Structure 1
Amino acid sequence: MTKTVPENKARQAHWGWHALRILIAGLLLVFIAWGVADIYGVMIKQPATEQQHVPQPPGTEQAPAPSGQSQ
């Protein structure tokens, strides 16, 4: 004989602590992966952006030529 179950009580499981823990663990793993990718992106970008700047002593700077005059 088949048992009749009302529609509002026909669920397989409850959304309880177990599902909440799984969702939080997944979110933490996403943040960890995001952090690792960010750190890796900064590490591979640094050598290309590092430029050695040699400061010139004061007074050795060249002034631009005035416009309209040829040299």
Structure 2
Amino acid sequence: MPSLDYIKLDQFLKQMQVVGTGGQAKLMIQAGEVAVNGEVETRRGRKLVSGDRVEVDGQAWIVDLSQLG
């Protein structure tokens, strides 16, 4: 299985089961409810790489691409 270089923010939120659909992810991101590395991120296509920190509603995840895909 090829390793991923990145994962898009909306896909990551779905993988982590923060949201059930891409539409929910889009709305959450556009509403400014998601932070990446401490900064609010409003682009759902933001490319995440291993080590990035994603925060939603006080919960945080560290991106580990080796665990995804």
TM-score between the two structures when normalised by the length of structure 1: 0.18
Structure showing the higher strand proportion among its residues:
2
TM-score, reference length from structure 2: 0.18
Larger Rg: 1
